[in-house]
Amino acid sequence: MSTSGKEVPASSLPASNWHTIDWGTSHRRVRGLQVRIAKAAKNQQWRQVKTLQRMLVRSFAAKALAVKRVTENRGRRTPGVDGETWSTPESKWKAVFRLQRTGYKPKPLRRVYIPKANGQRRPLGIPTMLDRAMQALYLLALEPVSETTADRNSYGFRSHRSTADAIEQLFVNLSRKNSAQWVMEGDIKGCFDNISHDWLIANVPMDKAILRKWLKAGYMESGRLNPTEAGTPQGGIISPVLANLALDGLEKVLEARFGQRDTKASYKTKVNYVRYADDFVISGISKELLMNEVRPVVEAFMAERGLTLAAEKTLFTHISEGFDFLGQNVRKYGGKLLIKPAHKNLKAFLVKVKAVIEGNKTAPASLLIDKLNPVIRGWANYHRSVVAKQTFNYVDYRIWKLLWRWCRRRHGNRCKRWIKAKYFKRIGKRNWVFAGLYPSGKLATLLYANDTTIQRHKKIKAQANPYDPQDELYFEERLEYAWRRSDEGKRRTLKLWLAQNKRCPMCKQVITFETGWNIHHIIERHKGGGDELSNLVLLHPNCHRQIHSEAPASAIVQRLTKA
C-alpha cells in the first residue's frame, strides 16, 4: 500500500523471493545496458564500455538473469567440485546475492572427458554453480562487445548464426566460374587449451581481475589440483566468447594484406575467409599464394595468441577434389559447385543408427521407432539445405536393411511374408513403412529421411548485430523464417507463437529456440480446460513455473486471459 492510500502494482514492488522477480523488467534493464555497451564499442569509446559493463554486472536484474540461465540449461544438474546444484527457488534466490565481486574466488574445475569422433577424448572443465553464474553475469556485459567487434564471416558460438550460414558463405565464395580454385583448410592445434593467458588479459574488454582468477583457477583430476598456465576451459559458459575474441581480427588482417572483397586487389588474389569456431577455410587463386603468402600471415596472427596450426589438418586442396567442412563435402563437378553430406558424417550417422537398433533387440517396435526418429530427423534437418536427396534415399535403404535383419532375428521361425505383414505397412503411397503399435493402440511409424524437403538456406547478413536497434526488425524476420522451416514450428505451435506476437505474455520477451517454451493451459485441464487454441499459450519455462508456484496466480492468469 502506498502513502497516498492507493494500491501499488505488484510488478513495481521489489522482489521478495524467486517467484516474485519481474522478469520482463529485468530483461528490459539488461537489454538497455547491452545496447548502450554495443553502441559505445562500435564508436570505440572503451572508457564508456567499461563504465556500462560495471553498471550491468552490479545490477540485480543481471544477477537474476545469470542465475536463471545456469539453472535452466542442460547442465543444471551437473555439479562442480563442491557438489552443489541450485534446484529450489530458495537456493536460486540466495544465489542472486552471492554474485559479488568483492571476496570472490573461483574454485578449480572438475575435469571430465568426452569421446571425440576420431576416437580420442576431449577434456571438459566443469565449474561450480557459483562460478557458472558469475561467468554468465560477466558474459551479459561482454557479449555485446564481442558481437560488435567480431569478424563478419565468423559463425561459431554466436547467437543467430549456424553451420548452415558458414556453408552458404562458402557457396558464395566458390560457386562462380571465376571464383577461387584453391582452398586452405585450417585447423588450430588445441585452440581452447593453448590460448595465451597474457593475451586474453591484455585484450579482452572485461574486468581483468575476474578474468585472471578464472584463467588461473586450475582443475581437479583424480583428487589432485592441476594448475592452468594457458587456455580457456571447454565447459565454461564464457569460454566460447573468449575463444572468438582471440580469433577475431584475422579477416581484417587478410583484407589489409590481400584487399577487401569485391575490390580490384581482392579480384587478383580471391582471398576470402570463413570461420566456424576454430575451423576455417581460406580461398585463393593458387596453391602457391595460399602456401607462401596466406599461411605465413595466419601463422603470425596465431602466434601472437599462443596458437599454432595443426600440420596434419591444415591442407591445400583444389576445388575439383573437394574438401569436408562441418560434416559436408564442398566440391566442383565439371565447373558446378555441389555441397553434399560428407562421407565421414554419413558413416558416423549409420554407425549411430546401427547402435540404436542393436541396443534394442528385444524392445517393441514402437519403442525402437521412438528412439530412431529423433536421430533421423536431426541428421536430415542438418543436411536439408544442401544437395542431399540421393544421400537421403541411400540412408533410408540402409536403415531398412538393418530393420529387416532386426525383424528376422526376432522371428527366425516365421516366413518373410508374415514378418512383412507384422512390421511393414502401406501408408499413403508408400509401401514397406516400418511401424508398431503403442500400448494405447496408436500406430507409430518410422520417419524416412527422404521425406525431408530440401530447402536452400537463407544466409544471415554478415554485418547484422543482435544488439543494434537498427537490426531489430531484421532479426525478428529471421526468427520467424527459422520457425517456419523447423519441425519445432508445427502448425499448432506456430499459430500460437504468431498470435502472441512471438513473445511470452508473462515477461514480454521473444520466445526462441534458445529460451525454449512450454504450452500452458489458461484454464487448467483438471478444472475443465480443453486443448483448443483459445485455451493455450506459449510461455518461457521459468514463466511457466512462476505461474504454477505456490504464490497466488490469479492476476497472472487474468493477464494471460487478456493476452
**What DSSP line would sit under 181-195, residue for residue?**
SEEEEEEBTTHHHH-
192: pLDDT strictly greater than 50: yes
For 459-469, the pLDDT digits (tens) are: 999 999 999 98
pLDDT of residue 155: 96
- Confidence band, pLDDT 50/70/90 cuts, at residue 556: low
The secondary element (H helix, E strand) that includes residue 356 is helix 343-358
pLDDT of residue 491: 73
Of the listed ranges 254-268, 319-333, 379-393, the one predicted with least confidence? 254-268
Percent of the chain exceeding pLDDT 70 equals 91
C-alpha cell at 544: 511457466
Rounded to whole angstroms, how far apart are CA atoms 87 and 71? 7
pLDDT of residue 546: 83
Contact 241, 157 (CB under 8 A): yes
- Confidence band, pLDDT 50/70/90 cuts, at residue 14: confident
303: pLDDT strictly greater than 80: yes
The residues, ordered by sequence, that sit 6+ positions from 383 with a Cβ below 8 Å of its Cβ are: 327, 328, 341, 391, 392
pLDDT of residue 551: 47
Residues 479-502: what's their mean pLDDT? Answer: 77
For 536-553, the pLDDT digits (tens) are: 888 888 888 888 775 444
For 238-286, the pLDDT digits (tens) are: 999 999 999 999 999 999 999 877 666 667 889 999 999 999 999 999 9
For 195-205, the pLDDT digits (tens) are: 999 999 999 99
- The residues facing 234 across adjacent strands are 236
* Range of 95-99, 479-483, 499-503, 516-520 with top mean pLDDT: 95-99
pLDDT of residue 121: 79
237: pLDDT strictly greater than 70: yes
For 66-100, the pLDDT digits (tens) are: 999 999 988 888 898 999 999 999 999 999 999 99
- Confidence band, pLDDT 50/70/90 cuts, at residue 429: confident
pLDDT of residue 266: 67
13: pLDDT strictly greater than 80: no
For 42-64, the pLDDT digits (tens) are: 999 999 999 999 999 999 999 99
Terminal alpha carbon distance of the chain: 27
What type of residue sits at position 114?
A: I
Residues 429-438: what's their mean pLDDT? Answer: 92
pLDDT of residue 382: 95
Rounded to whole angstroms, how far apart are CA atoms 230 and 122? 16
Burial of 281 (0-12, 13-18, 19+ CB in 10 A): buried
Looking at every residue in the chain, the average pLDDT score rounds to 88
pLDDT of residue 2: 46
Tell me the pTM: 0.85
**Phi, psi values for residue 269, rounded to 5°:** -100, -30
Measure Cα distances from 264 to 129, 271, 291, 292 in Å.
Answer: 53, 12, 22, 21
Of the listed ranges 82-96, 166-180, 199-213, 496-510, the one predicted with least confidence? 496-510
**Best CA proximity match to 446, nearest among 554, 510, 356, 315:** 356
Rounded to whole angstroms, how far apart are CA atoms 511 and 504? 6
532: pLDDT strictly greater than 80: no
pLDDT of residue 352: 95
pLDDT of residue 531: 67
Strand order in the sheet with 272-276: 272-276, 279-284, 182-187, 315-318
Residue whose cell numbers read 554485418? 463
